Amino acid sequence: MKWLQSAFIDIAITLIIVLWVFGFLPEWGKWIVYIYTPLIAAIKILAFATGLDKVKTKNTRTEPPSLFYHLLFAINVAVLLYAHFAHRHMEPGILAGIWVLIWILSALSERRKMA
């Protein structure tokens, strides 16, 4: 269960997205999501394009299972799509699309590491 410590930021951002979409966070919650999402997408794109995603880490026992990340990405996409369609705002739909990109790049990087 040490991997939960490694996934703290990912769990926190998912909670922030859920709380923001359902109105439990003030305006700053939106800005965390607006800044964090494209930043992570840019990092994933850069890592994938340069091949840095192929680097294997030393301690795999502290890494969360890949299914855990798929679950978090699915929650992020589903909640943002809900906000897009329920509240008729464009921004959550765009953010959901960026999270789909992050999800795809993460899955491709995972396959690269296994090869």
Where in the chain are the domains?
A: 3-114
Hey, what are 27's tokens? 């305006």
Higher-pLDDT residue of 15, 1: 15
Contact, 96 vs 81, CB < 8 A? yes
CA quadruple 101, 102, 103, 109: dihedral positive or negative?
A: positive
CB-based burial label for 75 (10 Å; 0-12, 13-18, 19+): middle
- Contact in structure between 3 and 65 (CB atoms under 8 Å): yes
For residues 115 and 99, give the distance between their C-alpha atoms in angstroms, rounded to a whole number: 24
**With contact defined as beta carbons under 8 Å apart, do 37 and 99 qualify?**
yes
Q: At what angle do helices 27-50 and 8-21 cross, to 10 degrees?
A: 140
62-114 pLDDT, tens digit per residue, is 788 889 999 999 999 999 999 999 988 889 999 999 999 999 999 999 888 88
What percent of the chain has a predicted confidence (pLDDT) above 70? 93
pLDDT category at 47 given cuts 50, 70, 90 is very high
User: pTM for the whole thing?
Assistant: 0.89
